[in-house]
Structure 1
Amino acid sequence: MKEERKCLTCGEVLFGRADKKFCNDNCRGIYNNKKNKMGDDYFRKVNSILRKNRRILEEMNPKEKSKTTKEKLLLNGFNFYYYTNVYQTKQGKVYYFVYEHGYLELDNEEYALVRKLDYI
């Protein structure tokens, strides 16, 4: 006797093809959304922080170059742990970038803000 196959989402008995897993498109969509949601939450949180960091750098650097303090960045909600890439100059200076907007730590908790459009 054949084992009864059931929908992976709602548990209804399946009829038709031997490899069928869902009773309809709605159940298939619910299953896949739930399966993908676990990983998506992490990416969504990281992307949200990166977008916020980029927006802060963009607002604080309306020109190509400017300066600010660590305190001002933190007061605006900047998170120094999240950036998209790092660029080290021949002189050993390290720029941290959030997409095309970057910052370089200077003396006395000051930061140089830059925008590098050739990253796009």
Structure 2
Amino acid sequence: MENQTKTCLECGTPIKGRKDKKFCSDQCRNAHNNTLNSDVTNAMRNINNILRRNRRILMDLTPNGKAKVHRDKLVEKGFDFNYFTSNYVTKAGAIYYFCYEYGYLPLQDHFYALVIRQEYTES
């Protein structure tokens, strides 16, 4: 078997130590993983920021797990109804929209029922 010198995936310097080692230091490992996990484009970064803001707004308005608010209050806080992470359709056909574990259900007269998805909050 040929003796091949492995190089760090981040900086390219030769690696000493274990055979399966991929990085020369914790700093290079962290830098590499931060690059992989970063938002690649401005569009992704902007969408993730909107989703986080939507979640934060829902969280602030739902301190006890459930609430009912008017659309104007959500809009006033900067909520963007175009962005959500998932939806849930009930047996009756109602559609809950979720920003991670916080959700909202459109009601009559521009009101919304706010909820927390229980399966995410139970440990």
What TM-score, normalized by structure 1, do the two folds share? 0.67
Counterpart in the other structure of 1:76: 77
Matched residues in 2 for 1:94 and 1:84: separation? Answer: 13
Relative to 1, partners in 2 of residues 1:38 and 1:113: Cα closer, same or farther, differing over 3 Å?
Answer: closer
Matched residues in 2 for 1:45 and 1:70: separation? Answer: 23
What TM-score, normalized by structure 2, do the two folds share? 0.65
SS at structure 2 position matched to 1:97: strand
Please report how far the alpha carbon of residue 38 of structure 1 lies from its aligned counterpart in structure 2 after TM superposition: 8.9
RMSD of equivalent CA atoms: 2.4
Equivalenced residue count is: 90
SS at structure 2 position matched to 1:73: helix
Percent identical pairs in the alignment equals 43
SS at structure 1 position matched to 2:41: helix
Structure 1 gap ranges (5+): 1-24
Letter of the 1:42 partner, please give it.
A
Matched residues in 1 for 2:54 and 2:81: separation? Answer: 8
Counterpart in the other structure of 1:89: 90
Equivalent positions of 1:1-120 (< 5 A) are 25=11, 39-119=40-120
- Alpha-carbon displacement from aligned partner over 1:10-47 (angstroms, at most 9, x marks no partner): xxxxxxxxxxxxxxx49xx9xxx7xxx99432211110
Please report how far the alpha carbon of residue 119 of structure 1 lies from its aligned counterpart in structure 2 after TM superposition: 4.0
Structure 2 gap ranges (5+): 1-10, 13-30
The structure that has the greater radius of gyration is 1
Structure 1 runs (4+) deviating above 4 angstroms are: none
Matched residues in 2 for 1:38 and 1:47: separation? Answer: 8
Relative to 1, partners in 2 of residues 1:96 and 1:38: Cα closer, same or farther, differing over 3 Å?
Answer: closer
SS at structure 1 position matched to 2:109: coil
- Alpha-carbon displacement from aligned partner over 1:64-117 (angstroms, at most 9, x marks no partner): 111000000000000000000010000000000000000000000000000013
